[in-house]
């Protein structure tokens, strides 16, 4: 059994994050007369880690709530659909980041040439 601070530490989050997840319905609030009397178990830690890992994968809190439901019902088709949607979003974001990188690399290359006029990097983003 763990107190909230121990659960948070074991899950790699802060206590306020645990409370936030509880308010969002992603983690249960354990029974007990007072916060000092509330204890968490390994299942709570497993769920906390699940939420954190799903967030790291880019799922929203609403999507994570759905994933938790799907986990209970073993709805693989819907889980697979959600994963594919997330992959498509990640692919789009990766393409945007690669384009931004190429643009910045060109600006850095042009800046390194020197020459007359303003620095291409400083000039690219408008006046400051």
Taking only the tens place, the pLDDT of each residue in 9-40 is: 999 999 999 999 999 999 998 876 655 667 89
Cβ neighbours for 86, distance < 8 A, ≥ 6 positions apart: 57, 58, 59, 63
Our measurement of the distance from residue 57's CA atom to the centroid of its chain's CA atoms, rounded to an integer in Å, reads: 6
pTM beyond 0.85, yes or no: no
- Could you tell me the two tokens for 37? 């009397």
Cβ neighbours for 64, distance < 8 A, ≥ 6 positions apart: 26, 51, 54, 55
């Amino acid at each position: 059994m763990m107190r909230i601070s121990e659960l948070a530490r074991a899950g790699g989050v802060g206590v306020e994050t645990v409370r936030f997840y509880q308010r969002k319905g992603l983690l249960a609030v354990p029974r007990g007369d007072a916060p000092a009397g509330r204890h968490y178990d390994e299942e709570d830690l497993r769920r906390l880690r699940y939420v954190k890992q799903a967030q790291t994968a880019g799922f929203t809190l609403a999507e994570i709530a759905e994933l938790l439901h799907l986990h209970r019902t073993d709805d693989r088709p819907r889980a697979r659909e959600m994963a594919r949607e997330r992959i498509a979003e990640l692919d789009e974001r990766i393409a945007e980041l690669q384009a931004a990188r190429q643009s910045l690399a060109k600006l850095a290359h042009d800046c390194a040439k020197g020459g007359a006029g303003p620095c291409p990097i400083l000039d690219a983003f408008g006046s400051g």
